[in-house]
Amino acid sequence: MPDIESFSRDAAVLSQALPYMQRYEGKTVVVKYGGHAMGDVELGQAFARDIALLKQSKVNPIVVHGGGPQIASMLKNLGIESKFEGGLRVTDKRTMEVVEMVLAGSINKEIVALINAEGEWAIGLCGKDGNMVFAKKATKTVKDPGSNIERELDLGFVGEPVEVDRTLLDLLARSEMIPVIAPVAPGRDGQTYNINADTFAGAIAGSLGAKRLLFLTDVDGVLDANKKLIPELSARDARALIADGTINGGMIPKVETCLEALDNGVEGVVILNGKTPHVVLVELFTAHGAGTLIVR
Ligand SMILES: Nc1ncnc2c1ncn2[C@@H]1O[C@H](COP(=O)(O)OP(=O)(O)O)[C@@H](O)[C@H]1O
Ligand SMILES: CC(=O)N[C@@H](CCC(=O)OP(=O)(O)O)C(=O)O
């Protein structure tokens, strides 16, 4: 007989989790797995286990992954310079080849293998597969510090998603397969484009009207001016925090993607620390959750 304290603790966890598991049954959850959250073997296995458990709980998990730091190290090994403008990687022809190789090749297959090792059937894809995503050359303007003049950036083969066809993803949702998707997509012009993984995940989640879009990054969520975690944030408050500078750097495009996804029909978006083991399960299946939930 287990000791009574641990027995009641287990019972409390289960009785809390089960109603949440029912709430997500049959629903789509898109998980964006960022490059900064990767790298540690045990954390990777914990992530894969969470995704496998979601599928076993009859949730429809879809993984969209990044790999910025891994692309940077491969470019460095090849003696190619990494350059960012407005948070996006300037992508010439050679860089695009490396980006596709790293994202749709090694990282994608590593994640597939980790999920398969948990007894599931993951399938590695990118926007090209099943005509899933078409992109066009990204247009972005920036203002240089101290200047009010807007300047248009030429980012090369950086794309933004313009069409998402859900046929393949709908088919996979009815199957045993778990899609793992790299943010690379073709254009109608025949080029291959490099898409920021947050933007790509937002487009996929929006097109599916996902119940949740989770962003796994390297901080606990959106932090306030005193560096305290904000558990829930309305779209309005998020805009105010961007305007007053509390949300800055890489968190700006992430939160903007969250707001766009909400506008496109995603029910709730959460920013979480991917370095916390099993953060996906805790977020979805406990009352307190984890990270920052952003709602309309
Ligand atoms: N208010 C804020 N709350 C949390 N993180 C913030 C905030 N403002 C800026 N950041 C920065 O945003 C970073 C996350 O964005 P980014 O590095 O682009 O993530 P990823 O590479 O995982 O997509 C954090 O590591 C942090 O330095
Ligand atoms: C256009 C652009 O910047 N694309 C990103 C794609 C990978 C990505 O977004 O990875 P993380 O989520 O790990 O940052 C890049 O080349 O780094």
| Domain assignments of the chain as residue spans, ordered by start | 25-295
Q: How many residues does the chain have?
A: 296
* pLDDT value, residue 289: 76
Q: What separation in Å is there between the alpha carbon of 223 and the centre of ligand 1?
A: 9
Q: Pick the closest to residue 133 from 75, 180, 74, 203 (CA basis).
A: 203
What are the tokens at 164? 């998402």
Q: Report the alpha-carbon distance of residue 251 to residue 33 in Å, rounded.
A: 15
Structure-model confidence comparison of residues 13 and 236, the more confident one: 236
Q: Which residues are annotated as a binding site for substrate?
A: 67-68, 89, 194
3-state secondary structure of 189: coil
- State the average pLDDT over residues 238-257: 89
Q: What separation in Å is there between the alpha carbon of 60 and the centre of ligand 1?
A: 27
68 lines ligand 2 (CB under 6 A): yes
Q: Which of 55-69, 99-113, 114-128, 143-157 is predicted with the least confidence, judged by mean pLDDT?
A: 143-157
* pLDDT value, residue 173: 93
Question: Above pLDDT 90, what percent of the chain?
Answer: 76
What is the sign, positive or negative, of the torsion defined by CA atoms of 188, 156, 255, 222? Answer: positive
Q: Supply the pTM of this predicted model.
A: 0.93
Is 9 a residue whose pLDDT tops 90? no
pLDDT band at 181 (very low <50, low <70, confident <90, very high): very high
Q: Whose CA is nearest to atom 15 of ligand 2?
A: 68
In sequence order, the 6+-apart residues with CB closer than 8 A to the CB of 203 are: 133, 161, 164
Q: Whose CA is nearest to atom 20 of ligand 1?
A: 217
250 lines ligand 1 (CB under 6 A): yes
Q: Pick the closest to residue 122 from 72, 165, 64, 164 (CA basis).
A: 64
Is 100 a residue whose pLDDT tops 80? yes
197 lines ligand 1 (CB under 6 A): no
Q: What is the interface pTM, i.e. ipTM, of the complex?
A: 0.95
CB 118 within 8 Å of CB 49: yes
- State the average pLDDT over residues 240-248: 91
Is 16 a residue whose pLDDT tops 90? no
* Mean pLDDT over the full length of the chain: 92
Q: Pick the closest to residue 175 from 22, 281, 60 (CA basis).
A: 60
Q: Whose CA is nearest to atom 1 of ligand 1?
A: 247
Question: Considering every ligand atom, which ligand is closest to the CA of 246?
Answer: 1
Q: What separation in Å is there between the alpha carbon of 236 and the centre of ligand 1?
A: 19
- State the average pLDDT over residues 101-129: 97
224 lines ligand 1 (CB under 6 A): no
3-state secondary structure of 16: helix
Q: Whose CA is nearest to atom 6 of ligand 2?
A: 196
Atom of ligand 1 minimally distant from the CA of 253:
18
Strands (DSSP E) along 68-153, which ranges? 84-85, 88-89, 121-126, 133-137, 140-143, 150-153
CB 182 within 8 Å of CB 165: no
Q: Report the alpha-carbon distance of residue 82 to residue 89 in Å, rounded.
A: 7
pLDDT band at 118 (very low <50, low <70, confident <90, very high): very high
Q: Which residues are annotated as a binding site?
A: 67-68, 89, 194
170 lines ligand 1 (CB under 6 A): no
Is 80 a residue whose pLDDT tops 90? yes
- State the average pLDDT over residues 12-24: 77
Looking at domain 25-295, its CATH superfamily turns out to be Acetylglutamate kinase-like (3.40.1160.10)
Q: Whose CA is nearest to atom 16 of ligand 2?
A: 89
CA 27 to chain centre: 17
* pLDDT value, residue 239: 92
pLDDT tens digit sequence for 187-235: 999 999 999 999 999 999 999 999 999 999 999 999 999 999 999 999 9
Q: What separation in Å is there between the alpha carbon of 249 and the centre of ligand 1?
A: 6
pLDDT tens digit sequence for 153-180: 899 999 999 999 999 999 999 999 999 9
Question: Considering every ligand atom, which ligand is closest to the CA of 199?
Answer: 2
